[in-house]
Amino acid sequence: MRGFAFIRIAAAASLALVALAACGPRPDQVAGLLGQPIQGGDYQLTVPSMNNPADPPDRFTNPTPGNRFVQFDVTVANRGGLHLPIAPGYFRLVDSGGLEYAPAPNIPSDDPLRQTSVAPGEDTTAVLYFEMAANQQPVQLEFVPAVFGWTTRIVVQLG
Pairing relationship of beta strands 91-95 and 84-86 according to DSSP bridges: unpaired
Classify residue 21 by burial, with Cβ atoms within 10 Å: 0-12, 13-18, 19+: exposed
pLDDT of residue 149: 83
Is 86 within 8 Å of 77 (Cβ atoms)?
A: no
Determine what percent of the chain is predicted with pLDDT higher than 90.
63
pTM of the model: 0.79
pLDDT surpasses 50 at 10:
no
Question: Looking only at Cα atoms, what is the longest distance across the chain?
Answer: 73
pLDDT surpasses 80 at 122:
yes
Determine what percent of the chain is predicted with pLDDT higher than 70.
81
Q: Omega into 105 within 30° of 0, i.e. cis?
A: no
Classify residue 118 by burial, with Cβ atoms within 10 Å: 0-12, 13-18, 19+: buried
Task: Determine the average pLDDT of the residues in 21-35.
Answer: 73
Any idea how long the chain is?
159
pLDDT of residue 26: 62
pLDDT surpasses 50 at 27:
yes
Check residue 107 and report its DSSP letter: -
CA 33, 35, 37, 41 torsion: positive or negative?
positive
How far apart CA 70 and CA 139 sit, in angstroms, is: 12
Task: Determine the average pLDDT of the residues in 74-96.
Answer: 95
Task: Determine the average pLDDT of the residues in 125-141.
Answer: 95
DSSP 13-68: HHHHHHHHHTT---TTEEEEETTS-EEETTEEEEEEEEEEEEPPSSTT--PPTTEE
pLDDT in tens, 86-119: 999 999 999 999 999 999 887 766 677 888 899 9
Task: Determine the average pLDDT of the residues in 26-32.
Answer: 83
Q: Which helix (H) or strand (E) holds 12?
A: helix 2-21
pLDDT of residue 28: 80
Q: Find which of 12-16, 23-27, 120-124 is predicted with most confidence, using mean pLDDT.
A: 120-124
As a whole number, the mean pLDDT across the chain is: 84
Hey, where are the domains in the chain? 27-157
According to CATH, the topology of domain 27-157 is Immunoglobulin-like (2.60.40)
